[in-house]
Amino acid sequence: MRLSNMMNLRRIASSPSRLLLLLIFVIIAIFFNSFSDEKVIVGKVVKVIDGDTIEILDKNNKNYRVRFFGMDAPESKQAYGKKSREFLASMIASKTVTAIQKDKDKYSRIVAIIKLDDEDINKKMVANGYAWAYTYYSDIYAMDMRLAREQKLGLWADKNPIEPYEWRKMNR
């Protein structure tokens, strides 16, 4: 059967079985297309701004400011803010990473999961106590935060750690 015969809409509409097949095909195509919203950026980390924001330069010399998905690191002037940034920089500064975009924030930054050699850096930041799991948006790192808290890792060694969101509200 030739492609032109297969794509003849009159023929398809006149045959219930062909119409059903076309409908199934369209539904499957829409279903799989819904998973392709994630943009993937591969590039070199040219700047570690703080514990949850970096700048990436891709192979076309396009610069991206990327905020880490599912976590919130202490602010620079907050307790553990500098340590959080330093820990992140020690892992990924000047290295090529993959950013898997999940969203954009109100400042037009890409919000992404950062991977270095298939290792989830967002998870590593939370699991080592250098960031909070941002459970307002996702529970993806909640268990890692619980374990870090139990082991008193990083910011959890502090007697009274303040969530970055709360710290920002208090210091406006």
Written as six digits, the tokens of 138 are 């996702």
The rounded radius of gyration (Å) of the Cα atoms in the chain is: 23
Give yes or no: 65 in active site.
no
Does the active-site annotation cover 109?
A: yes
Of 18, 55, 65, 109, which one is the catalytic site residue? Answer: 109
Tokens of 59: 């192979």
Report the distance separating Cα 126 and Cα 115, nearest Å.
Answer: 14
Catalytic residue among 75, 163, 168, 172: 75
Q: Is 75 tagged catalytic?
A: yes
d(CA 131, CA 164): 9
SS3 string, 92-126, reads: HCCCEEEEEEEEECCCCCEEEEEEECCEEHHHHHH
Show which residues are catalytic: 67, 75, 109
